[in-house]
Amino acid sequence: MKRFIIFLLTFMLFACSGAVVHKINFAKDFDKKKINRIAILNFNRASGVNVSSELLVDKFTAAFINTPYKLVERAELQKILQEAAFQHSDSGIIDESTKEQLRQLGADTILTGTLHTYSENKDSRGFVLNSEVYLTAKMIKVETGEVIWSGEILKQSKAKNVGEKPKYGIGGEQEAEPAGKLLDDVIKDMASSLREKKYLLL
């Protein structure tokens, strides 16, 4: 009986929230030992996405704590973030002036991306019915503009058994994961892949 309950709870957990798209790719010559310092630039946001770029940068910065990677101080990047236009496009082109500024900060690699979806629907009780987060990110070598790592993760969560009450202490309503939790999980997965070079293909 105990094993059955554990199995049921595990099944319900994975049924409630899951990754619809989960792709991690590395360049053939990717070597984390050759990455000296990463500059995390502002992330683009799709129209209607109400999450600040600063929050995304902060979350990625926190995810890189206790990893081999060194990061450029955020305060030192402000001027570059205001002047550089490449982080607002998908071209990956870095002009010579920006390259030089990044070199002066010790950065040989940049990390940026786009938050395409961040949504959460609740009922009148504040019960989360469904949520979705879709984030793409890429790591680019400053000198060459080469994309050496990319991540694409779409996670969704839906409430289960809405309106039902538990029977014998099992089942009943299960709220969907909030969008904030999904975003944390997505960023954690991306940072983990870079730390351990895990492809995480689903």
151-170 per-position pLDDT tens digit:
999 999 999 988 788 777 77
Q: What is the pLDDT of residues 35-48, one digit of tens each?
A: 999 999 889 999 99
Domain 2-196 indexed as CATH 3.40.50.10610:
yes
- HSE value, Cβ hemisphere, 13 Å, CA-based, for 93: 4
Q: Rounded to whole angstroms, how far apart are CA atoms 34 and 32?
A: 5
Spatial contact of 27 and 147, defined as CB atoms under 8 Å apart:
yes
User: What percent of the chain is predicted at pLDDT more than 70?
Assistant: 81
Give pTM, 2 decimals. 0.81
Angle between helices 96-104 and 74-83 in degrees, nearest 10: 170
In 3D space, the residue among 134, 146, 126, 127 whose CA is nearest the CA of residue 35 turns out to be 146
Cα distance between residue 42 and residue 74, in whole Å: 10
Where are the chain's structural domains?
2-196
